[in-house]
A and B are shown apart, each in its own frame.
Chain A
Amino acid sequence: MDASSDQLDADALASVLAVDPADFVCLTNVHGEPFYLNLSGRRMVGESEETPASRISLREFYDAHSWTELQQTAVPKVNKAGHWEGRVRLRKIGSEETFEVHARMFRIKSSKAGRPYCLAIVHRRMDKDSDLRAALAEARARKNAILESSLDPIITINHEGVITEFNRAAELCFGHSREKVLGTTPTEVLFPPADGPGQKDRIDRYLTAGEGSQLGRRVEVTAVRAGGETFDAEMAMTIGQEQGAPALTFFIRDISREKKAEREQARYAAELVQSNRELEQFAYVASHDLQEPLRKIRTFCDRLQIKLNDKLDEEGQDSFRRIQNAVERMQALIEGLLSLSRVTTRGRDFVAVDLRQVALEVVSDLEAQIERVGGRVELGHLPSIQADPLQMRQLLQNLIANSLKFHRQDEPPVVKVYGRFAHGRDKRPAGLTPGEERCRIAVEDNGIGFEPKYQRRIFDVFQRLHNRDAFEGVGIGLALCRKIVERHGGEISVRSVPGRGSTFEVVLPVARDVKQE
């Protein structure tokens, strides 16, 4: 195919020729086979004026990378959209020297029906200025894309403190339009009037000295929206250059929602503390006051029984016994509640407590019970910790007594008490504060055990797993243990196998910074 056989339509040519005479202009058929290359084009790539267009191989004019790009990107784009624009590197024929040119490629429709279109390729040399301009335009486009797609407000002020940049997110956040804000100062529109002077001083300092305490750090500020509503914001600042002068860019994040959640959480926590305190107070007062009428019932009941003693038949005696049992039980329940509330209301300051010493004393106190059931308590290593000494005694006493109590009929109870620091035997590992270090204390028995499904419930107040005929008690001992452990910032748990035994484990902080809650 050559130029004569495929004449270019005049109209199409006119659109192609809206080009600089110095541009490279090449026309090809739909297959990319050239049928025209102008003089400027020939000079640009060093192609002889004599070579017929049909003998030209376009491939020789481009560096490998550019050629690939033309094939893979430009041609499909032109086929689809009719137009492509970019940059490629041309090569002087027979040399390795390449140079960058601006490239345009477009489809020219033939005005004659039935004729296929042809492609026009136009290249323009790029001088240094246009290079820079293009790079600048690109950078600006990139910057704008970033600014506009940022979810956080970004605001720039120039060296005079005037706002020169106010992105879309800033518009949404502050409620000001970009047009209105540009040219004003941040202290006029972004911060509450009261904070204005302080912020202005700070900003001025950054702009003049180029440094400041908040630079490069996140700070929390109070900002104000167009409607006058203030909100909590987190702000980071960075200093840069704009037209040869320092410019300050603020990255702002609206944290009002987080702050609100934070405040609400703090309020809930305070309410919880308050309601817990009230509950404890209530338990104490209620149980204290409940004791009073109970004492009366018991005393008058006694008196009546003494008076009627000889006249009572067996049924009457039995009724009195039942009343008295119920009263005693109620008294035990009330005392349980009182002791539970006393864990916090009568708690003492934490001091150094040698748990082994405490355990020795407890075992000595429990001697009668141990002897009665023919059991044995074995004490292993136990650490010294910061704790309420009386409560540690109560804790170990309740756990050991509990293990002795629920022993098997055919097996004398053997209770093992041992402990260790959770992170090693005697030394605190590096990096842990005393408050973070924990110790584990185990109380292990060979008693009747219980089903695993009860392992949480047994620490609840007044929970019992056996009827009163089998084992006496109101179910306060382990609840008291849990309360004591919780007051010490620890945890209590139990593992058990029915018929084999139980192991109670207490994890306690070795030390505590706070004396009491």
Chain B
Amino acid sequence: MTFDSKRRTVLMVDDDSEDCLLVSEAFRKTGRPCDVRSVRDGEEMFAYLRHEGKYSNGQDAPPPDLILLDLNMPRKDGRESLAELKADSRCRDIPVLVLTTSTAEADVELCYSLGANSYAAKPSGFRELVDLFDVIGKYWFELVTLPPKAIHGGKTG
């Protein structure tokens, strides 16, 4: 197995700063070079992706290789953001993993119908979190082939 040492960018969209810290930590534990960026809600996510507002210079907003999307957030929540994301031709190829505490069937169904690439419940326990991201990283960064646009980000300007 070849280890792709290319540094990846993960954009975590979650208002929970502890979760952001833990995910970043978990990715580090997997040993994959990974840059975990976090934004607090959907509004901020689009600002990041479209280089708007505080991300207007584009320097601090490298295009993500994977988006981790929480569902329950203030302002623009995950469901709304997902719909908008997948309707935008410049972003829709970025894989989206819905990562949430909700296990409601209705949420799972809705997310897949909106075009989510995966759906996972936030695991309880740090080992479980590391395990999850080990698999996620291996899958999205090593095993699957994505359109080049996605890998190099949807530079939307």
Residues on A lying within 8 angstroms of B by beta carbon are 288, 291-292, 294-296, 298-303, 306, 331
> Given contacts A299-B124, A303-B126, could you give 7 more A-B pairs where the C-beta distance is less than 8 Å?
A292-B101, A294-B124, A295-B122, A295-B124, A300-B22, A302-B127, A306-B127
**How far does the alpha carbon of A306 sit from the alpha carbon of B22 in the complex, in Å?**
13
Of the A-B pairs whose beta carbons lie under 8 Å apart in the complex, a sample of 21, sorted by A's number, is: A292-B101, A294-B124, A295-B101, A295-B122, A295-B124, A296-B18, A296-B19, A298-B124, A299-B22, A299-B123, A299-B124, A299-B125, A299-B126, A300-B18, A300-B22, A300-B126, A301-B126, A302-B126, A303-B22, A303-B25, A303-B126
* Complex Cα spacing A394 to B150, Å: 45
8 Å CB contacts to A: which residues of B62-116? 101
Chain B residues lying within 8 Å of A288, measured Cβ to Cβ, are 101
Bound state CA distance, A292 and B18, in angstroms? 11
Which residues from A are CB-within-8-Å of B151?
A: none
Question: Interface residue tally of chain B, by bracket?
Answer: 10 to 19
Residues of chain B contacted by A299 (CB below 8 angstroms)? 22, 123-126, 129
CB under 8 Å from chain A, chain B span 1-19: 18-19
Interface centre among B19, B22, B125, by most chain A C-beta atoms within 10 angstroms, is B125
Contacts of B127 in A (CB 8 A): 302, 306
A302 proximity list for chain B (CB < 8 A): 125-127
- Asked whether, in the complex, the Cβ of A306 is within 8 Å of the Cβ of B126, the reply is yes
- A348 CB to closest chain B CB, in angstroms? 12
CA gap between A300 and B127 in the complex, in Å = 10
Which chain B residues numbered 119 to 133 have a C-beta less than 8 Å away from chain A?
A: 122-127, 129
- CB contacts (< 8 Å) of B18 on chain A: these are 296, 300
CB pair A298–B101 under 8 Å, yes or no, is no
Q: A291-B101, A292-B101 are in contact. Are A298 and B125 (CB under 8 A)?
A: yes
Docked pose: A298 CA to B18 CA in angstroms: 12
In the complex, how many angstroms separate the beta carbon of A259 from the nearest chain B beta carbon? 44
Q: How far is the CB of B44 from chain A (nearest CB, A)?
A: 21
Q: Which residues of B contact A296 (CB under 8 A)?
A: 18-19
**Residues in B whose Cβ lies below 8 Å from that of A292:** 101
Shortest distance in angstroms between B101's beta carbon and chain A's nearest beta carbon? Answer: 6
How far is A299 from B25 in the complex, measured between Cα atoms in Å? 11
A306 to B129, CA, bound (A): 13
In the complex, A292 Cα to B71 Cα: how many Å? 14
- Looking across the interface, which residue of chain B has its beta carbon closest to that of A288? B101
CB contact list, B123-156 vs A, under 8 A: 123-127, 129
CB pair B126–A331 under 8 Å, yes or no, is no
> In the complex, A294→B22 CA distance in Å?
14
Q: How far is the CB of B79 from chain A (nearest CB, A)?
A: 17
Contacting residues, chain B, for A303 (C-beta < 8 A): 22, 25, 126
Chain A residues, Cβ within 8 Å of B22: 299-300, 303
Task: Among A299, A301, A302, find the residue whose CB has the most chain B CB atoms closer than 10 A.
Answer: A299
Query: Can you name the residue of chain B whose Cβ is closest to the Cβ of A302?
Result: B126
A301 to B22, CA, bound (A): 11
Task: Give the chain B neighbours of A301 by CB distance below 8 A.
Answer: 126
Closest A-chain residue to B29, C-beta based? A306
Return the chain A residue nearest B126 by Cβ: A302
For residue A327, which residue of chain B has the nearest CB?
B124
Once the chains are docked, how many angstroms separate the CA of A292 from the CA of B129? 15
Q: Report the separation of the CA atoms of residues A291 and B72 in the bound assembly, to the nearest whole angstrom.
A: 14
Residues from chain A with Cβ under 8 Å of B124 in the complex: 294-295, 298-299, 331
CA distance A115 to B7 in the complex (A): 144
Q: Which residue of B lies closest to A292 (CB)?
A: B101
| Pairs A-B, 5 closest by C-beta atoms | A302-B126, A303-B126, A295-B124, A299-B126, A302-B125
Contacts of B101 in A (CB 8 A): 288, 291-292, 295
Shortest beta-carbon distance from B29 to chain A in Å: 8
How far, in Å, is B86 (CB) from chain A's closest CB? 27
0/1 per residue, B25-68, Cβ < 8 Å to A?
10000000000000000000000000000000000000000000
A299 to B124, CA, bound (A): 6
Tell me which residues across on chain A come within 8 A of B129, comparing CB atoms.
299
A283, chain B: closest CB distance, angstroms: 16
Q: What's the minimum C-beta distance from B31 to chain A, rounded to whole angstroms?
A: 14
How near does chain B come to A4, taking the closest CB pair, in angstroms?
Answer: 122
In the complex, residue of chain B having the shortest beta-carbon distance to the beta carbon of A289: B101
Q: Which residue of B lies closest to A306 (CB)?
A: B126
The docked-state distance in angstroms from the alpha carbon of A459 to that of B18 is 39
A18 shortest CB reach to chain B, Å: 104
- Closest B residue to A294 by CB, please name it: B124
Min CB distance, B26 to chain A, in Å? Answer: 9
What is the minimal beta-carbon distance from A245 to any residue of chain B, in angstroms? 73
Shortest distance from the beta carbon of B88 to any chain A beta carbon, whole Å: 30
Cβ distance A342 to chain B, nearest Cβ, rounded Å: 10
- Residues in B with CB closer than 8 Å to A306 are 126-127
Smallest Cβ-Cβ distance to A307: which chain B residue: B126
- Measured CB to CB, the closest approach of chain B to A279, in angstroms, equals 20
Give Cα A379 to B148, complex, Å.
60
- Determine how close the nearest CB of chain A comes to the CB of B84; give it in whole angstroms: 26
